[in-house]
Amino acid sequence: MKGKSSLHTVGPVSQGIWILDSGATDHMTPFRMIFKSYIQRNREQLITVANGQGVPICGSGNIILESSIVLKDVLHVPQLANNLISVQKLTKDLNCSVTFFSTHCVFQDLATGKTILTAKEQSGLYLLESDDQNKTKIMSQQATSETWANSQIWLHHKRLGHPSFNLLKSLFPHLFTKESIESFNCDICQLSKHHRASYALRQEFKRVKQRCILDLMSAGSVFESM
């Protein structure tokens, strides 16, 4: 049995990215793991893609696109390269309109006029990102930010003559919003403690501050603000 035709895209994208397909009558995905509910199909059913090939539908179910938006009756088609959203089905299920622009498209609730989804244009395709994809991006950005802060702390520690990390936190509090002082352990500082008396915090602060000023005068700013 052959089903409804759909766009067969050229190259795979992330499982969190959905391509809007104005010619499809059903949502489709090759990824089994993103279904929140799933019904396997025992009877073979084929769907025809743009190149005329019939590919099997293995099951169907619901997928959460965003916290308040559920894609219903999504077809599981393992041989597809990408996730596809049927514009026709989405506007009907969500009771919304869609307006296409050169750089993006907007889905608006027909009752309230509120924007409920926005897709970005990329290489001639309009792409939607699921919540999982957005969360992955945010986590990646947070990890990048934390890695940057960690490297900046070590940079200042070495350039300013190995001051204590407590002092660095007082000088650069913005770098320690996600970093714990206890996580920093400098081998050089540990060794040097056997050969010199410790400085009082105020004396150390003055010494490092003077070092900062000299460093600023000779090599440019090493930090944005004290």
Same structural domain, 119 and 161: no
Residue 121, domain CATH: 2.40.70.10
Q: Select, from the ranges 83-87, 146-150, 185-189, the one with the highest average predicted confidence (pLDDT).
A: 83-87
Of 94, 129, 164, which residue is a domain's last? 129
pLDDT above 50 for 9: no
Q: How confident is the model at residue 214 (pLDDT cuts 50, 70, 90)?
A: low
How many domains are there within the chain? 2
Of 129, 150, 173, which residue is a domain's last? 129
Instruction: Give the other-Cβ count within 10 Å of 168's Cβ.
Output: 22
pLDDT above 50 for 39: yes
SS (H, E, C) 165-195: HHHHHHHCHHHHCCCCHHHCCCHHHHHHCCC
DSSP strand pairing (96-100 vs 104-109):
antiparallel
Same structural domain, 116 and 176: no
User: Whose CA is closest to 58, among 74, 73, 44?
Assistant: 44
Q: Residue 147 is part of which domain span?
A: 141-219
d(CA 147, CA 56): 45
- 66-97 per-position pLDDT tens digit: 878 899 999 999 999 889 999 999 999 999 99
d(CA 181, CA 222): 20
